[in-house]
């Protein structure tokens, strides 16, 4: 058991995932939570990270820090998505190995799995064929982190594990249309279009790809569960186990935002991976499953968006 006064460092605690993990751990009564903003600590700087660990001496490290974005951002900035993420995770993993860290939880993404892997995605499908080209740079970085944690378990018998979430959404998401993922981008588009006389909303692709979504509070609950329990394996998928088409998602968000205009699909734009449904049976066997239903979760996220719209960066649509 992990004591409630254990020093727990959450890298990326200001981001959507990190903030949710912080809330989850606080609710569970953990009192020694540690965070540092990107201005306070550049995780790409090895010496700075080493000095920070020496100062705070955490026993548990949760790596929720990453450079993230959608198809557009991944296509436009491949080097940064590869190198920045490798620098961040390598510093955290290596310094955790060589200090007093008892448990390390590495968070990745379902994009680590091959583009045409069988569905649902099982953990053993990792590295069995080629990746989706539109986000391979981010995926390659995350795969290297998974393998680094696996190597540490194998060579040093340390409790380093990797959790791979499906597409996440929720409060504190990124709603910038140039860099956001599909669900928050749709919320922003439909909201703005409804305000602007219910004009038509143009969405990328055909609408036929299928995607699975997990509320970030469910993800945080999974991380807390993994922290409090010993896992035998290195890699675990975290998802809802349910998916829907992008078209169905658009229609759901259209209903929630009250948009009454047309939806137009720009089929000249890429669809990305045809389907990405996670096999979540390993987490279920450990005793964890998601609990937040998609429509209820999107409604909550939209309410958060409306309450924080002044802080959401304005971007021309």
Domain ranges of the chain: 8-307
List the one residue out of 123, 12, 110, 28 whose CA is nearest residue 61: 12
| 103 annotated as ligand-binding | no
| 14 annotated as ligand-binding | yes
Neighbours of 147 (CB within 10 A): 15
Cα–Cα distance, 235 to 44 (Å, whole number): 24
Paired tokens of 212: 């699975």
Check the CA dihedral 10-16-21-27 and report its sign: positive
| 261 annotated as ligand-binding | no
Check the CA dihedral 128-134-140-142 and report its sign: negative
Residue 113 designated active-site: no
Q: Which helix (H) or strand (E) holds 265?
A: strand 263-266
User: Which entry of 9, 138, 169, 236 is annotated as an active-site residue?
Assistant: 138
pLDDT at 16: 93
pLDDT at 315: 44
| 275 annotated as ligand-binding | no
pLDDT at 313: 57
Cα–Cα distance, 34 to 22 (Å, whole number): 9
> How many residues are listed for the chain in this entry?
317
Cα–Cα distance, 310 to 87 (Å, whole number): 33
Tens digit of each residue's pLDDT, the chain (317 residues): 899 999 999 999 999 999 999 999 999 999 999 999 999 999 999 999 999 999 999 999 999 999 877 677 778 889 999 999 999 999 999 999 999 899 999 999 998 999 889 999 999 999 999 998 888 999 999 999 999 999 999 999 999 999 999 999 999 998 988 777 899 999 999 999 999 999 999 999 999 999 999 999 999 999 999 999 999 999 999 999 999 999 999 999 999 999 999 999 999 998 877 888 999 999 999 999 999 999 999 999 999 999 998 877 544 43
Cα–Cα distance, 260 to 51 (Å, whole number): 54
Q: Which residue has the tokens 């597409």?
A: 167
| 201 annotated as ligand-binding | no
**Peptide bond preceding 120: is omega within 30 degrees of 0, i.e. cis?**
yes
Cα–Cα distance, 85 to 44 (Å, whole number): 8
8-307 is a CATH 3.40.50.720 domain: yes
Cα–Cα distance, 70 to 102 (Å, whole number): 33
Cα–Cα distance, 264 to 197 (Å, whole number): 16
Q: In the chain, where does DSSP find H-type helix? A: 16-27, 46-56, 71-76, 78-97, 136-156, 182-195, 216-228, 246-257, 281-286, 294-307
| 189 annotated as ligand-binding | yes
pLDDT at 69: 72
> Are 82 and 281 within 8 A, CB to CB?
no
């Amino acid at each position: 058991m992990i004591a409630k006064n254990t020093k727990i460092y959450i890298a990326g605690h200001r981001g959507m995932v990190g903030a949710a993990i912080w809330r989850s751990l606080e609710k569970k009564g953990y009192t020694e939570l540690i965070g540092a903003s990107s201005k306070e600590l550049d995780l790409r700087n090895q010496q700075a990270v080493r000095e920070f660990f020496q100062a705070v001496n955490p026993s548990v490290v949760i790596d929720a820090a990453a450079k993230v974005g959608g198809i557009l951002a991944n296509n436009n900035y491949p080097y940064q998505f590869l190198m920045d993420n490798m620098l961040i995770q390598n510093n955290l993993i290596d310094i955790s190995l060589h200090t007093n860290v008892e448990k390390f939880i590495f968070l990745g993404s379902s994009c680590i799995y091959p583009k045409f892997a069988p569905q649902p995605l099982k953990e053993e499908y990792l590295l069995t064929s080629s990746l989706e080209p539109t986000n391979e740079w981010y995926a390659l970085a995350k795969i290297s982190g998974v393998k680094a944690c696996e190597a540490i378990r194998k060579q040093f018998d340390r409790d380093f594990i990797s959790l791979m979430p499906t597409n996440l959404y929720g409060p504190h998401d990124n709603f910038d249309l140039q860099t956001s993922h599909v669900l928050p981008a749709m919320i922003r588009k439909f909201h703005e279009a409804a305000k602007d006389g219910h004009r038509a909303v143009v969405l990328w692709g055909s609408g036929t790809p299928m995607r699975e979504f997990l509320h970030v509070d469910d993800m945080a609950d999974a991380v807390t569960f993994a922290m409090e329990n010993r896992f035998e394996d290195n890699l675990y998928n975290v998802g809802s186990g349910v998916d829907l088409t992008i078209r169905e998602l658009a229609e759901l968000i259209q209903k929630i935002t009250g948009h009454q205009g047309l939806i137009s699909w720009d089929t000249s734009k890429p669809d990305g991976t045809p389907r990405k449904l996670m096999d979540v049976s390993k987490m279920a066997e450990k005793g964890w499953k998601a609990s937040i239903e998609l429509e209820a979760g999107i409604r909550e996220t939209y309410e958060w968006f409306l309450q924080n719209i002044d802080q959401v960066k304005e971007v021309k649509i």
